[in-house]
A and B are shown apart, each in its own frame.
Chain A
């Protein structure tokens, strides 16, 4: 049996209670919304690029511990990365969540590894990936329609 303590690790609870980089960003290069119609979780990601570098990254929204902590950890991990690195990290994280070992192999997800317990709770994977899908949409241009997890 998977242990709830693996899912709700201290780091996750901490980022849930005190999310980092929470709020709107001004000025902004692109933003994108993620919406999970199943539960109503909603996240908006604000992205500011400096050339090809992610200079600013924040988020807003209401969600569960998993989606909030994942968004918060994402902003910390992605800020400062060059676009190709950011895209690679998104791919690695999504691969980790979907249990696609090949994709994640070799990638050092660092602190994001605390979210790896989520993959044992299939219905919660969408919570963890919501902000990441929104970030990917923002990097691709953003400001279009909300991405949904469906």
Chain B
């Protein structure tokens, strides 16, 4: 009797079962189409993922049946919109492990979340000579907001180096954290290389050496792995709906309650005040203090459904499937002497999310993208909004294929044969 019981127990976690990709794909209507006469192979998920029917339906249902402004009216539609909007906040907050939903601010996306932290958290604290420490692998949206606030305050931006393998150089980073460091801002996962940074270890390293806040750009992590902000030990965590199978136009910032409570508003306007006179205004509490104006109500509700969708599949299961796709692609790409995989994982180094950044001998990434597109394969060519990283790696641009939960091994094979076509033309 004990044996079967143990088997059942082993199988209990949803993650134990492999992902049924074909069934999953059926939930994403956009995937079922031909591009230039070939079935679409969508490998540009790091730029933006696609949405399942459930999310599209939730947004459309909101507009069809109950949309109104939230937090404004006493009428039935407004009450329903408010309830759904706040329920979505709760779902998204729980999804990233927030202790309270009041710690979850809805924004337009990662970019706005990071600008919010730079202006509302950092700006009042930064003094001339203070330092904001970034890394060489940051997306422009985790560089430029800090440059702006440094220009405003006389603080300066520094960047922790990466190794030639595309991992953060933690020893060098530790050497850059000191008493002038007020903010350490880094990507959880690099959008260009897929490097997964050990945020928990970095947060400890920062705490040991400074009072700096740890700000994490989670745009590329949240769709691919289980994120728990309290386990990470960071202070702020930013992410975007459109990269996690949710709607565009909405994202979030999680921040520690005590920090948010002490921060001035980011934007001024309606919904973020308790009392306004021409002499002064009193600001309401977080999260609403940071949500001036009418928010993206339907998209936020859609994002709540997207996180439910992710949870119903299970992040561990998604991660395992995507890691299998990554291995499958690396095995084949590493066999091609004319393909160079930038920053690929090394034993004992940082793990990688399902992203491959490639340089093809004798063929510029743009030309590669055009030739792949002709075969129905969507990838990204360019600097991936990470020009300092491209400079560090000594390449003007790369070809990036980024996988999502709905990609298949056959699609990886299509990518590889697409690259052979590039080789045939550019040979």
Contact = CB atoms under 8 A, between A and B. Distances in A.
Nearest to B375: A4
Interface residues of B, number: 20
Interface stretch (A45-53, A60-68, A86-94, A135-143): A60-68
Contacts of A17: 362
B366 to A, nearest CB: 4
Contact of B367 (A38, A40, A65): A65
Given A4-B425, A124-B370, A40 B390 contact: yes
Interface string A1-21: 110110110000100010000
Contacts of B381: 39
A64 B364 contact: yes
B387 A64 contact: no
Nearest to A3: B374
A63 B364 contact: yes
B371 interface: yes
Nearest to B384: A40
A17 B371 CA distance: 18
B396 interface: yes
Contact of B387 (A4, A38, A40, A41): A40
A7 B36 CA distance: 15
Contacts of A134: none
Most central of A17, A65, A123, A127 by chain B CB within 10 Å: A65
Given A4-B425, A17-B362, A38 B382 contact: yes
Contacts of B370: 4, 7, 121, 123-124
A4 B365 CA distance: 15
B390 A4 contact: no
Given A1-B36, A38-B382, A39-B397, A64 B425 contact: no
A17 B425 CA distance: 13
Interface string A60-83: 001111101000000000000000
Given A64-B367, A65-B367, A66-B367, A40 B374 contact: no
B63 interface: no
A121 B370 CA distance: 8
Interface string B359-383: 0001111110011001000000111
Contact of B366 (A2, A13, A66): A66
A9 to B, nearest CB: 10
B348 interface: no
Given A13-B426, A39-B366, A4 B382 contact: no
Contact of B365 (A5, A64, A66): A64
Contact of B37 (A1, A38, A65): A1
Q: Looking at A40, A124, A127, which has the most chain B CB atoms within 10 Å of its CB?
A: A40
B101 to A, nearest CB: 39
Contacts of A40: 382-383, 387, 390, 396-397
A10 to B, nearest CB: 11
Given A1-B37, A39-B366, A62 B425 contact: no
B366 A127 contact: yes
Nearest to A40: B383
A4 B397 contact: no
B374 A4 contact: yes
A26 B371 CA distance: 38
A41 B366 CA distance: 10
Contacts of B426: 8, 13, 65
A8 B366 contact: no
A26 to B, nearest CB: 25
A40 B381 CA distance: 10
A77 to B, nearest CB: 22
A33 B370 CA distance: 25
A8 B366 CA distance: 12
Nearest to B383: A40
Which of B37, B365, B425 counts the most A-chain CB atoms under 10 A from its CB?
B425
A68 B365 CA distance: 13
A115 to B, nearest CB: 14
A11 B222 CA distance: 46
B366 A124 contact: yes
A124 B381 CA distance: 12
B371 A4 contact: yes
A68 B426 CA distance: 14
A123 B374 CA distance: 13
A47 B165 CA distance: 42
Nearest to B390: A40
B37 to A, nearest CB: 6
B86 to A, nearest CB: 39
A13 B371 CA distance: 14
10 contacts: A4-B425, A13-B425, A39-B365, A39-B366, A39-B381, A39-B397, A40-B396, A41-B396, A64-B364, A124-B366
Interface of A: 1-2, 4-5, 7-8, 13, 17, 38-41, 62-66, 68, 121, 123-124, 127
